[in-house]
Structure 1
């Protein structure tokens, strides 16, 4: 499972050694930076890691702390202005007793060290709070769920995806042995960050894995409001033969008019006004086609997602 927050990926079951992590950091030193925490005395189990996109974030201004080796690491990130955001990446034990003890230990640690309290808690929880998050539906161990609930209350965090989709059923993990499914991969967030957060998603990854991608776009409440920006031609229009044919004709007509009026320039007819009209006509043409093509693409994507969900639940 690899949830991400903007330019940050949080990885669980990373199975990284210090040597392998160093090799990756060296090979991609201009593009990304990895901080990882392996489970002591093991190589092929557990482990958590953060992957930082150095093209979009200054990795040198991020500090990391191992809270529980191989199970929980904390990233403190300089955010907007002088504010920081703290993200706790966890990989909870699968065993019920150890799972319960894990939440209790995190609560104890964050009580003794308030500076470790995160704004965002994410990862593979290996437990769900509601039977709605399992297929077939069934409740998880009450003691483990209660321990997680106490930690959430202590940290003042809420399940952002469930709050955004209160009645929706989607799953992030498929059990290979019996094809049962669950939403054990989640992102918890503080109340202050919930309002400006958006794009809560569970999507299939580009690589073959039994976990899907859980993601959200989280913005600081103190950030200035940013509008939609300038309109851009959708890339799918540039691959449409009808659209490109019309734009080609429009471009040739513009070049002809510029050449024809080269020596009889007026205030209303000159290369600048002709080119300005070309841009206006080009945008109008693209917008007209986009209104026709975009709904078709959106409906196709929605049907494919619906088909995918149905196929993953056919056994039930």
Structure 2
């Protein structure tokens, strides 16, 4: 999340209870995890296969005030997330059942529950749908489940939701988000998807499907997109700031001392009529310091990353 600056990831099959989530929120204060309950009256072992969570990255979404509604325990969670002033995104995270019959019933139940809770707007729906709407999205090809497709289509029409990746990559483009092991049959499919409204799609970019690094035995790829704010003012790269980790770096201060002596020599050698060049000399002096500091900072950060990678590997 830190590396990719992800604002609101949704997770499925979290297998986490309230106590685990509480500890995670305590240990990682820059993030807030909201999740569905994972047990129900019918199946007290539901935690082995259920669980949906939405994480708020406070560095990317600092407004606060998000509210969350459990739509279906362990299967659907709705987050109302302040995105910018006077605008809230309604994000519905899904983990649909893998069983075909349960899957089709899930979409019908989802529609009914959303109506009962008077949810009139969904901007983004994302997660593991556990079926594909088109045979091009699975290998080997087979008939798509008609009942589930029709039930989801009703939901999509009701909330004006479209498959963003497919819209950006029309057929014959193909990609998989889930792959089976050889023992499972070796199949592959695009069951993880992000749906959104036209308004959100027009403000989106970088629709991607990518492997998640540093997580072993993961059979799903991550689906992501970047939502831009078309009403936000332009924010440039900002003013360069001297790296605090170099304030006591002896190598840097030796270079600054050397450049300072050279600056004084150049100024002393100026003729009286050329004193206006002092400003030019000063500009060159500060620019040289900046370049040296940036180079040293890059070297130090590279060594730090290598050390962290080595520790993680061990």
1:128 equivalent to 2:132? Answer yes
Give the 5 Å matches for 1:137-286: 137-167=141-171, 168-176=173-181, 177-206=184-213, 207-208=215-216, 209-221=218-230, 223-226=231-234, 229=237, 257-264=262-269, 266-270=274-278, 272-277=279-284
What TM-score comes out, normalization by structure 2 length? Answer: 0.74
Q: How has the CA–CA distance of structure 1 residues 279 and 36 changed in structure 2, closer, same or farther, with 3 Å as cutoff?
A: same
How far apart are the structure 1 equivalents of 2:262 and 2:158? 71
Question: What is aligned with 1:308?
Answer: none
Once the two structures are superposed, residues 166-192 of structure 1 have per-residue CA deviations (whole angstroms, 9 ceiling, x without a partner) of 132111111121221111001000001
1:21-61 deviation line (CA, Å, top 9, x unaligned)? 11212222x22211111332332211101122233334741
The verdict on how the C-alpha distance between 1:263 and 1:17 changes in structure 2, with shifts beyond 3 A counting, is same
Which structure has the higher relative contact order (CA within 8 Å, separation 6+)? 1
Partner in structure 1 of residue 21 of structure 2: 21
1:117 to 113, 118, 121: 121
* Aligned 8 A contact 1:33 1:59 in 2: no
Give the gaps of 5 or more residues in structure 2: 241-254, 292-314
Q: CA shift at 1:85, angstroms?
A: 0.6
Match for residue 94 of structure 1?
Answer: 98
Counterpart of 1:38 in structure 2 is 37
Unaligned runs of 5+ in 1: 233-249, 285-316
Partner SS for 1:163? helix
Q: Is the 8 A contact 1:261 1:269 kept in 2?
A: no
**CA RMSD of superposed structures (Å):** 2.9
Tell me the secondary structure at the aligned position of residue 186 of structure 2: coil
Shift of 1:118: 1.3
Question: With structure 1 as the length reference, what TM-score do the two structures score?
Answer: 0.74
Count of residue pairs brought into register by the alignment:
261
Partner of 1:52: 56
Q: Output the CA distance in 1 between the equivalents of 2:103 and 2:87.
A: 33
Distance 1:196 1:281, change over 3 A: farther
Q: Mean Cα displacement is larger for which, 38-47 or 70-79?
A: 38-47
The answer (yes or no) to whether the contact 1:160–1:194 under 8 Å persists in 2 is yes
- Tell me the CA shift for residue 117 of structure 1: 3.0
Return the alpha-carbon distance in structure 2 between the equivalents of residues 180 and 214 of structure 1.
19
Decide whether the 8 Å contact of 2:208 with 2:224 is kept in 1: yes
- What SS does the aligned partner of 1:93 have? coil
Query: Given the superposition, is the C-alpha separation of residues 97 and 117 from structure 1 closer, same or farther in structure 2, using an over 3 Å criterion?
Result: farther
Q: Deviations over 1:248-272 (max 9, x none)?
A: xx999966752322324544422x4
Contact map agreement 2:138 2:190 (CA 8 A) in 1: yes
